[in-house]
Amino acid sequence: MDFFVDPDIRKASTIDARFYTDQGVYDASKERIFANSWQFAGIANQESGAGEVFPFTLLEGCLDEPLMLTTDEAGHTRCLSNVCTHRGSVLVNEHCQLRNIKCPYHGRMFGLDGKFQSMPEFQEVQNFPTEADNLQNLPLERWGNMLFTTIKVGVPFRAVFGDMMARVSWFPMDKLVYRHDLSKEYHVDAHWALYCENYLEGFHIPFVHEGLNKELDFGSYTTELFRYSNLQLGIGKAGENCFELPETSVDYGKQVAAYYFWVFPNMMFNFYPWGLSLNVVQPQGIGKTRVSFLTYVCDESKLEQGAGSGLDKVEMEDEAIVAQVQRGVRSVIYSKGRFSPKREQGPHHFHVLLADFLNR
């Protein structure tokens, strides 16, 4: 099934509603979109020393890819496949400290760098071992204490994250502290892309978010598009809690209350004066989505002030309206709509990327 979204927003219609309702399209999205994109892999301060092994599942409920972070004696951290290259058993099931990795099924041994070391009863096997007997090393990138990986390197990390990193280069990423007590998970009765689309436009704010609308100057709300990300700049009203921007910032002189960055396909980086709320959208089925709100704080004195306050209330309002859209796109009558060139640049940009990745 081919999808087309005109790159000219003035002519474009939204992506066909079958994208949200067809199981075959959903399954294809796992391979063509998520396996080819950078994903959040964990928090770097989990690594406490040599021999540490942290198993995790990449996009649980969607890709369900078993991976692990390992740290060798030299302090080098890698992201490895957590599947034995012999018969496919999962190797490590819980955080532990190891000198090497031994398969619990038939005893195949690997180093913490993923290289094959030994295998019992394989003396007669010809052309063994080869590179295929090593655990696959996945790319691993770090920003602050956040780790990111990808199964297939379709686009370089800097091409995806570089615009955001440059825009907030003054932000104290090294001072962010992950706060499990302030982090939450939400379960949304809607397609993952509908949740992203709702995030990608401020058009709905005056209609859905009465409280947030009081904090932001909706008339000054802007969207800036980059190749694989975009930015919604939240301008605060007079007297509201805003960033103290350095003169080197391109936004110096503006009353910026929040930077809302979206990174294709499923991550939102919300920068506030108190820190960062990283939202990871995880598909769980055609009409089911899990969203992790990961909270990183650099100035606790500014929590619950300005645009970065009352996030739970805003989330409930978003979930309610997105659930209504989920019901609507299943209609046999509805197929697609048109975009507002002034207010819906973000969703249009998203739809163009979705069509591009699905048609590859």
Distance CA 350, CA 342 (A): 15
Ordered DSSP codes for 15-65 = PPTHHHH-HHHHHHHIIIIITTS-EEEEEGGG--STTEEEEEEETTTTT-E
pLDDT at 48: 60
265 upstream amide cis, omega within 30 of 0: yes
Cα→Cα distances 26→89, 182, 322, Å: 27, 32, 18
Helix axes 192-199, 311-329, angle to 10 degrees: 130
293: tokens are 């709100």
**Dist. CA 132–CA 205, nearest whole Å:** 52
**Domains 39-149 and 169-358 are alike in CATH topology:** no
Measured between alpha carbons, how far is 248 from 262 in angstroms, rounded to an integer?
23
Full-model pTM: 0.92
Angle at CA of residue 62, ends 60 and 66, nearest 5°? 50
Three state DSSP letters for 13-24? ECCCCHHHHCHH
pLDDT at 319: 84
Burial (CB < 10 A; 0-12, 13-18, 19+), residue 108, is buried
CA 71/CA 80 separation, integer angstroms: 11
Placement of tokens 């090593």 in the chain: 134
Euclidean distance between CA atoms 49 and 29, whole angstroms: 37
Residue 321 CA, chain-centre distance (Å), reads 22
- Residues (pLDDT < 70) of the chain are 1, 45-48, 207-210, 212-220, 306-311
Q: Which fold has domain 169-358?
A: Naphthalene 1,2-dioxygenase Alpha Subunit; Chain A, domain 1 (3.90.380)
What is the SS3 string spanning 295-321?
A: EEECCHHHCCCHHHCCHHHHHHHHHHH
- Reduced to 3 states, what is the DSSP secondary structure of residue 131? helix
Domain ranges of the chain: 39-149, 169-358
The count of C-alpha atoms lying within 13 angstroms of the C-alpha of 284, restricted to the half-sphere facing its C-beta, is: 14
How is 195-230 classified by DSSP, letter by letter? HHHHHT-STTHHHH-HHHHHHB-GGG-EEEE-SSEE
State residue 303's pLDDT score: 83
Range 39-149 classified under CATH 2.102.10.10: yes
And the tokens for 12? 């474009």
> What was the pLDDT predicted at 212?
66
SS3 content of the chain, % helix, strand, coil (to 5): 30, 30, 45
Please give the Cα distance from 3 to 350 (Å, whole number).
13
